[in-house]
Amino acid sequence: MPTAGLLGNILTSTHNPRIKEISDLRKADYRRRSGLFIIEGYKELSLALKNGIAIKEIYLCLELSDKGKSDTLCKRIRNKAITIYEVSAKVYERIAFGNRLEGVVAVAAQPSITLKDLKLSVHPLLVVLEHIEKPGNLGAILRTADAAGVDAVIVTDEACDLYNPNVVRASVGTLFTMAVVKARAQELIPWLEQKHIQTISGCVQAASAYTSVDFKKPSAIILGSEEKGLSVSWKEHADCQARIPMAGEADSLNVSVAAGVLLFEAARQRNL
């Protein structure tokens, strides 16, 4: 049975149906079916609220939470249709992802953004990702894209799990600060052509170094994983291929590092 707390009744049972559902949101298939995902941490939740992510419920453990941050959060959502549930430390540890015990977990609806929804700048800079399955890499790329002033990040395959809790964490909430779209290559390639956006594929075997590319033009940087690289369709349809010169014995960089090199060259050319 729930016990009385400062916010009302405290959820103390790990068998509560609500708690079970949150635990199920750790699973990719359940996230896909439900259209929901988990946000953990005050910074991430703050950015989600600021950028219009639809928060359904918030679970707050006052035993673990910073009082100033929890008070600010409660004031911030006072007039919003968001329910806050107070939970015990035991329950919170069941729903928290990993060992980051800030005391706040939210359940949110996954945004649904399409290519038609994108509002691009005059000279847009885009990142297109293929086969990026590791949440840490994806989150790091999102964080870098935010810092470099990217208009949108577009992922092109179903294996890319945007709303994995580790993506939210690794991105430090920047998943919510920019447009992130899923679109198949068959749809995206003609869209880029229609928008007159040049495509630059990162390729280890490319003849030209990335510093020779004119990133001041409307540009889309196409990146694949170290394991799979880019598919034939992207290699064939790219306007140019660019490599990052390397002096050592390694034959490739981690994709998130490569993204940082390319994006900040673009930012440098654009006088960020």
Phi/psi region, residue 44 (left: phi>0; alpha: psi -120 to 50; beta: rest), is: alpha
- In CATH, what number is assigned to the domain containing residue 191? 3.40.1280.10
| Structure token pair of residue 230 | 């880019």
Rounded to whole angstroms, the Cα distance separating 10 from 59 reads 10
Query: Per mean pLDDT, which range of 114-123, 201-210, 229-238, 240-249 is the poorest?
Result: 229-238
Q: What is the DSSP letter of 110?
A: P
Q: Tokens for 217? A: 């033009």
- Residue 151 and residue 104 share a domain: no
Report in angstroms the alpha-carbon separations of 175 from 89, 137, 147, 165, 259: 28, 13, 12, 11, 16
Say how many domains are in the chain.
Answer: 2
User: Does residue 227 register a pLDDT over 80?
Assistant: no
Residues 103 and 119 in one domain: no
> Do residues 85 and 141 both lie within one domain?
no
Same domain (yes/no): 104, 120: no
Backbone angles phi, psi at 71, to 5 degrees: -65, -45
Predicted structure pTM score? 0.90
| End position of a domain, from candidates 109, 138, 159 | 109
pLDDT in tens, 2-38: 444 455 568 999 999 999 999 999 999 999 999 999 9
Confidence of residue 1 (pLDDT cuts 50, 70, 90): very low
- Give the pLDDT confidence of 228-258 residue by residue, as tens digits: 778 888 878 899 999 998 887 777 789 999 9
pLDDT the model gives residue 222: 95
> Looking at the structure, do residues 131 and 233 belong to the same domain, yes or no?
yes
CATH number of 80's domain: 3.30.1330.30
Q: Which domain holds residue 23?
A: 3-109
Mean pLDDT of the chain: 90
From 71, 89, 109, the end of a domain falls on: 109
For residue 174, the 8-state DSSP code is G
Average pLDDT over residues 187-195: 96
